[in-house]
């Protein structure tokens, strides 16, 4: 596997390498030694698996407040997803900036997102299946959302039609409201 840092410090794109033959492929998806060499070794405590039935389904932008903030390791098992992350770290030089990576079953990429980021996904194909590991337990009282379409963030979700959203994501607060309430996340 090859690991390279995103333009936003602390986020890493991980290119998996499959050994293929007539039967299919075999691929290492995690190696604690390789992750430790890149200073991204974590104790993964939870994992979720989601399926977005329709292209244009957006999940996010989600995060948890400290001490329940989460680092995430995201991989697509089927289909293709735009993975979006927004830097919410209070003293970061890239505070309020976002970046994205297309991850898919075909390109065999993963993305590592450290604590202090809002995270969102947009299914770019029907039946997109995502697996995500977290290094902290979910806490509903610490859970927050920022509106996916916030004009101050101006995220390009690569949508071709109307998004499919949960009620919670539709009613999320703006980035300005987050700043007013939290000022940022101290990690």
Condensed to tens digits (0 to 9), the pLDDT of residues 139-182 reads: 999 999 999 999 999 999 999 899 999 999 999 999 999 999 99
Q: How far apart are CA 62 and CA 118, in angstroms?
A: 5
The domains located in the chain, with CATH, are 2-182 (2.60.120.10)
pTM: 0.94
How large is the average pLDDT for residues 110-136?
98
pLDDT at 41: 85
pLDDT band (50, 70, 90) for residue 187: confident
Q: What is the pLDDT of residues 60-115, one digit of tens each?
A: 999 999 999 999 999 999 999 999 999 999 999 999 999 999 999 999 999 999 99
Cα(177)–Cα(183) distance, integer angstroms: 9
Closest to 1 (Cα-Cα) out of 33, 49, 42: 33
The H or E element containing residue 130 is: strand 128-134
Q: What is the pLDDT of residue 34?
A: 93
């Amino acid at each position: 596997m090859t690991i390279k840092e995103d333009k936003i410090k602390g986020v890493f794109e991980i290119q998996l390498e499959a050994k293929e033959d007539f039967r299919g492929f075999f691929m290492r998806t995690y190696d604690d030694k390789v992750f430790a060499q890149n200073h991204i070794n974590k104790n993964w405590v939870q994992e979720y698996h989601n399926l977005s039935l329709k292209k244009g389904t957006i999940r996010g932008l989600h995060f948890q407040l400290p001490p329940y903030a989460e680092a995430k390791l995201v991989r697509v098992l089927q289909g293709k997803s735009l993975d979006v992350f927004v830097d919410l770290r209070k003293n970061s030089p890239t505070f309020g900036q976002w970046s994205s990576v297309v991850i898919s079953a075909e390109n065999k990429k993963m993305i590592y997102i450290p604590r202090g980021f809002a995270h969102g996904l947009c299914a770019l194909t029907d039946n997109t299946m995502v697996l995500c590991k977290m290094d902290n337990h979910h806490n509903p009282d610490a859970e927050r959302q920022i509106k996916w379409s916030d004009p101050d963030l101006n995220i390009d979700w690569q949508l071709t039609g109307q998004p499919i959203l949960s009620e919670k994501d539709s009613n999320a607060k703006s980035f300005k409201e987050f700043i007013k309430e939290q000022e940022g996340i101290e990690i």
